[in-house]
């Protein structure tokens, strides 16, 4: 017979109880394996994301480049009102070249005056009005200048046929077409010529008779006959090498102002942030004659005198 077992004696367990330290060790090992595996998965996911991010950035760059190209290549014509205009064709182009329409249109789009610049011009004209106002170049905003110059004479000189066909004129306003013999890329050579040649000095005689390469000599007769109170230089285009540049218009404006003997003529130059406008303004209108400025405008007060031998006092 099997031995009797007392119900009160403890049974020997089949499995030894797991100690607390063993449980913690095993838990720590499982925890380590879990995070180690998770780290490997995160690393793999990051490696897979890198090509995707590169692809997204490349697509964004291509899209932006296409957008910039489309905006740059597209040009919009400014809305201008049509009206009849008095035109005189002045044939003046030694190279027989027509001005570039594309250049003129793109220049017009970037040449809008700010509110402060327009106010600056209107304030000057209203204080001088009625006056003789000569404008090299015609922007759509300049039509109001002629209206402000009530009782005075306003003449525009323009080389762009498209602008000529869309100019709104007021009473005592004339518009003449002319062509320039210069190119902006030759500006430095022309400046050197003017500095070395006595033909370009202010004492070389009347503007129509001078042999300086910068002088506009085939202008309408009325330009030489009138004494000008204000000359505004905002033309021709000068933002590209093949544009005529404003070398001749600044030089000619300087001589016209000096022929107004005994009076002060305001010569206002636009786009003085550009090199050509700045160079030729300092050379022929002179820093000591600068009386005011606003935005991209410089306003020079030129004293008319007949016996000057140099443009600027040293």
Per residue of the chain (314 residues), what is the pLDDT tens digit? Answer: 455 544 444 444 444 455 555 556 565 555 555 455 555 555 556 666 777 777 787 777 766 666 555 433 333 333 333 233 343 444 334 333 444 444 444 444 456 899 999 999 999 999 999 999 999 998 888 989 999 999 999 999 999 887 776 566 667 899 999 999 999 999 999 999 999 999 999 876 678 788 899 999 889 999 999 999 999 999 999 999 999 999 999 999 999 999 988 899 999 999 999 999 999 999 999 999 999 999 999 999 999 887 778 899 86
At the topology level, CATH places domain 89-303 in: Rossmann fold (3.40.50)
Cα separation, 215 vs 170, in Å, equals 29
DSSP-derived pairing of the beta strands 297-303 and 290-294: antiparallel
Cα separation, 17 vs 12, in Å, equals 11
Burial of 25 (0-12, 13-18, 19+ CB in 10 A): exposed
* Tokens encoding 65: 């480049």
Q: Check: CB of residue 308 under 8 Å from CB of residue 260.
A: no
Question: Both ends of the chain: CA-CA distance in Å?
Answer: 141
């Amino acid at each position: 017979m099997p031995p009797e077992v007392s119900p009160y004696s403890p049974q020997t367990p089949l499995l030894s109880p797991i100690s607390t330290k063993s449980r913690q060790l095993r838990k720590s090992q499982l925890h380590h394996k879990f995070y180690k595996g998770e780290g490997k998965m995160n690393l793999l996911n990051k490696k897979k994301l890198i090509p995707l991010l590169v692809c997204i950035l490349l697509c964004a760059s291509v899209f932006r480049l296409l957008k910039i190209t489309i905006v740059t290549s597209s040009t919009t014509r400014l809305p201008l009102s049509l009206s009849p205009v008095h035109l005189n064709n002045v044939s003046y182009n030694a190279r027989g070249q027509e001005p570039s329409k594309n250049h003129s249109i793109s220049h017009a789009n970037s040449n809008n005056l700010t509110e402060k610049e327009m106010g600056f011009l209107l304030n000057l004209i209203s204080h001088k009005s009625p006056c003789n106002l000569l404008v090299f170049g015609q922007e759509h905003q300049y039509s109001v200048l002629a209206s402000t110059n009530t009782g005075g004479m306003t003449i525009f000189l323009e080389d762009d046929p498209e602008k000529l066909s869309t100019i709104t004129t007021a009473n005592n306003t004339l518009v003449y077409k002319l062509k320039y013999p210069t190119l902006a890329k030759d500006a430095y050579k022309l400046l050197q010529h003017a500095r070395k040649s006595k033909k370009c000095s202010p004492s070389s005689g009347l503007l129509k008779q001078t042999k300086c390469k910068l002088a506009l000599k085939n202008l309408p007769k009325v330009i030489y006959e009138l004494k000008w109170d204000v000359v505004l230089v905002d033309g021709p285009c000068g933002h590209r090498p093949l544009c005529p540049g404003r070398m001749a218009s600044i030089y000619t404006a300087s001589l016209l102002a000096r022929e107004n003997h005994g009076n002060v003529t305001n010569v206002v130059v636009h786009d003085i942030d550009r090199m050509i406008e700045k160079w030729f303004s300092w050379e022929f209108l002179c820093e000591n004659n600068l009386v005011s400025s606003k935005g991209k405008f410089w306003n020079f007060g030129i004293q008319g005198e007949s016996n000057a031998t140099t443009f600027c006092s040293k």
